[in-house]
Structure 1
Amino acid sequence: MIRVGIIGVGTVGTSVVKVLEKNRDIITARAGKEIKVVKGVVRNLQKHRDINIPLTTDPYEVTDDPSIDIVVELMGGVEDAYKIVKKALQNKKAVVTANKALLAYHRYDLKELAKDIPFEFEASVAGGIPIIKALREGLSANHIEAIRGIMNGTCNYILTKMDKEGADFATVLKEAQELGYAEADPTFDVEGFDAAHKLLILASIAYGIDAKPEDILIEGITKITTLDFEFAKEFGYAIKLLTIAKKRDHEVELRVHPTLIKRSEMIAKVDGVMNGVSVIGDVVGETMYYGPGAGGDATASAVISNIIDIARGGKCSPMLGFKKPLESGMRLASRESIETKYYLRLLVEDRPGILAKIAKIFGEHTISIESMLQKPAEGSLAHLLLSTHKCNEADINRALESLKTQEFLRQEPVMIRMEE
């Protein structure tokens, strides 16, 4: 028998207990051993939970219990979770976690602590989609050329509703909160931090990159308006919050931001609260992974998959995908060196000569305009919706700084990157 302790018996922890009980026969057959949760850790012992396992408020009753084989960490947070997981590893216990924030900051520390102790974390990225296993095992013969992911269901739900129904951001956010798709404080989701944590985990497996959230470009969706969707539809684009990793020689771009992407792309068709990840390998080409990215049962499915892997007793894959460092190590590309197309929304005075002045500013920074729409605004103002040809991030930022000094500009410019 494999004895499991769960630290954090909330929505996901409760689902893990229930699925292990409900599907006991097939799980035992697949694992070759019975798997039993023998203890759970909660904050409040008085709260009713529809499960029948011994509960405690002390996580070290799990980490220090010599009879427990696997510690499942579902408590969330960073530093407290790190201390507890570290203790479990020091006690030579296998660990399974769904904690993306913990891994975003401490994955390499934990890799060194774990060494040959199984440490699994499939549920930390894209919920029920087995993207970790795909990168570590299924695509292990490939150089990963690019990863593009929709890995936050809250943002994808909001952007899908804005696209399909023409609703504004605030209205859809309120609806998402009422439906339970968004937290009361949605900042972590809508500002891109949740998706960034997941991207960093995938980047370590794909490229061996040890970057922290503070090191990469992260932008959220709060500035997106219905005008942006009008431009997108006119020119055949969808707007998605994308996590993007791009390999170029010995550098990797890592960025999270709203993106205009052609509607014909597979990743652009991922709608609602669903997640999707596109991976391009140099041998296999593009593969696509789609499914529920959150929720108790979907995440529990990934957690239990890891428990079964450990119970089978075989060698688990290297935690971050590499048995030894790459001889030609990959570096994180600077934000300023990004090259792509850009969309800009400008609120300007509606009078002759303004477009010529804007084009002149762009030309001074080696940027050319590819397409444009003009939409009337209040009074004598107009919205100019522009897209550029491919250019450099440093150049577009300098052009925007120059634009901000112009008397005809009446609002902070909004810029959205484009992917093709």
Structure 2
Amino acid sequence: MRNYVILAGTAAALSACGGAGPETIGSTAPAGTVGPGSGTNAATDIYAQFANPVDAKSYKGVGGTQRLTYTTDNRVTQGQQGLTYSANASTVRDSAIDIAYDPRDAIFTLTIADAKSGAGTTVRFQDPAQRTNFGGTTEPQWGTPNLAQLPAGAAANRNVNYLQSGGGNPTSLYGQSGTGFVDPGNSTTPPDGMPGSSYTAYSFFYEKPGSTTKYVSFAGYVANTVSFANVMAGTETLTQDSWTLERGAFAYGALTNNSAVPTSGSASYTGSMLGTMVFNPTLDDSVKKSTYFQWLTGTSTLSVNFASKQVGLAVDGFVLDPQYDRYTTPSITVPGGATFSGSGSALIDLVGKGGFTGTFQSFAFKNGATTLPVAVAGSSIDGAFYGPAAEEAGGGFRVVGGVPDQRVDIVGAFTGKK
């Protein structure tokens, strides 16, 4: 039985549950404080402030965004209708993603204005209760990955903080965004609502700067907007849901000045990666599957020869469970727990590009003995160096499949330190 709550017509804050300790932008907070950057000896240079902020700062995200719109109804066999999909991967100097943090109020502001993908929102996480986590009666919304609970063999990441604005809580009348009577669901159950109702929520999650890297980090976001209505199909009254879903993954941090990037020698950077994808190869099949989002999580290795300006990137990891809406028949092409690997190359061009740019040569998924290679038609790698002397690296990527009548698209971010 679905539990509905009354939603007001304006956005408010999501009531959050505790249990995982205080959330700050960095890895630690000074003793006796509730946020970072409050200590009397806090460093004020741009690099130290990434993990221990003192002043309000804004960072550009390098990565990708995806947007998916469609309708479903209680004729489940009809599947998704009127579907449109778009995506984009930003470059170091042409980013539509901005992450701002003000330690005075412990407030994040996420701004996405990606005209190429259509993804766009400005969310100010101003209420302390908008910090949330997994494991209580209130959790991040449907489609948000729990990076501390991963498939067997994957390395759990317990250094990720979660924030959410809007969406609601089935046990509370506070923190809802939308109208009418809505059951907001939870991290694995999509929202539901009575006809005439609507639901909107934004989630932002990031690896705490200073936990594994000091100068660059990765983040992701989820935006879900759903409206619920009764519509007529001939003489039949249908229950219809209209979905607008956005996903994104990006790296951000304190960029190295061009003059401080080495011009000789080599280095290897290892770290984390986060991606989001659609993988639907069945559009030309007699039985078509629906298009849904899945998260990718894993590791990255960046090999850099500063003298020749050659860069090699390898990403490896695991696929998380698909995110099915309420009226989509479950149909898995790449199941949760499958693995993936990809490799590409890039060239350093600090003057022209502000970092390094390149492409993927291969990307493939593996589930047991079955390998699903991606026929790469288009791809991009966009990255930069971070820290006072290029101690760390990070960036974003995109891989687009090229087989006719397939929808295969992956965007993501990577970080690493020497």
With the length of structure 1 as denominator, give the TM-score of the two structures. Answer: 0.27
Q: Which structure features the higher share of strand residues? A: 2
Structure index of larger Rg: 1
With the length of structure 2 as denominator, give the TM-score of the two structures. Answer: 0.27
Q: Which structure features the higher share of helix residues? A: 1
